[in-house]
Structure 1
Amino acid sequence: MVMHLVKLCVGVSSIEELEASMARTAARRRAAGEPPVSVHVTRMTPAKRDEVENGGSLYWVIGGAIRCRSDIISLETVDGEDGVKRCAIVMSTEVIRTAAAPRRPFQGWRYLKPEDAPQDVAGPVEGGDDLPPDLRAKLLEIGAW
């Protein structure tokens, strides 16, 4: 069985900004002779590790809605600078856009069942990132975007 994760994309205001950040990370890693992947470190390790590593994705919440996802390659245990064990979510640097799915703010990550995950979309959703945040939030709330 597959299980996905969903996480707030803190400090990122658009899908394009996330794509640019992941591209920079991949370039730095490639230049250092490391695999060109994206790594996000979080405090807790998923208990459903096998399900997440079995084809799961990290769905990113940007601007109050799930807007895209990245395929998870592996979950690795790493030592934080404070000596505490943490979880490195190793992902593909490809950002796959999804249909917008509203999400309220939360801390950490949450599981997302495949049947609850928004569908992938072929390209940028017209007008989404140019809308004022209040209007975008209202459209999400009523399910019109």
Structure 2
Amino acid sequence: MPVHLLKVAVGIAEPAQLETVQRGRRHIVDGREVVYGYTKRMPTRRDELIGGGSIFWVIRHVILLRQPILDMFMVTDEDGDTYCRLLYAPELVQVEARPLRAFQGWRYLDPATAPRDLSTTESDLPAHLQQELRALGLL
């Protein structure tokens, strides 16, 4: 069963900004477009992550987006430092907005507790309205 990652989108104020930043990180790998991401260490549950997992992006203390994880591997830069390069699908999928306390680095997220993807109609609403409507039982 796949597992997911939670990661804070540091310096990002809204989903459109993350999309803009990631446009500059797009590359073609084995004939497909991917977005590069980086972390210091390889997640120990790598096989579960690339077997259908996604990275869920936390923006301003709220989970708002997910992005499928395609692959990850260790690389060494020109200074001899090693780190893990993650390859994401370029599509950002809006998910049910869910508040989350601050944390550093990344965390695993069980698929059973992951926010669900939003329909096109729901994703047109700002995150704070989605939360209010959900609290009222209207979404």
Partner SS for 1:36:
strand
Q: CA deviation at 1:77?
A: 0.6
Percent identical across equivalent pairs? Answer: 34
Q: Distance in 2 between matches of 1:85 and 1:53?
A: 20
Which residues in structure 2 correspond to 1:5-20 (within 5 Å)? 5-20=5-20
**Under a length normalisation based on structure 2, what TM-score does the superposition of the two structures give?**
0.82
Q: CA deviation at 1:20?
A: 1.8
Q: Distance in 2 between matches of 1:80 and 1:65?
A: 33
Q: Is 2:57–2:64's contact at 8 Å kept on the other side of the alignment?
A: yes
Partner SS for 2:49:
helix
1:68-89 deviation line (CA, Å, top 9, x unaligned)? 0000000111124542321111
Q: CA deviation at 1:22?
A: 2.0
Q: 2:60 aligns with which of 60, 63, 76?
A: 63
Does 1:144 find its partner at 2:135? yes
Q: Is 1:6–1:59's contact at 8 Å kept on the other side of the alignment?
A: yes
Aligned residues: 132
Q: 1:80 to 1:116 in 2, by over 3 A?
A: farther
Q: 1:66 corresponds to which letter in structure 2?
A: I
Q: 1:115 aligns with which of 88, 98, 112?
A: 112
Match of 2:125 in 1: 126
Q: Is 1:25–1:36's contact at 8 Å kept on the other side of the alignment?
A: no
Please provide the CA RMSD for this pair. 2.5
1:82-124 deviation line (CA, Å, top 9, x unaligned)? 4232111110110000001111111111000100100000232
Where does the alignment leave 5 or more consecutive residues of structure 1 unmatched? none
Q: 2:49 aligns with which of 52, 55, 66?
A: 52
Higher share of residues assigned strand: 2
Q: 1:72 corresponds to which letter in structure 2?
A: I
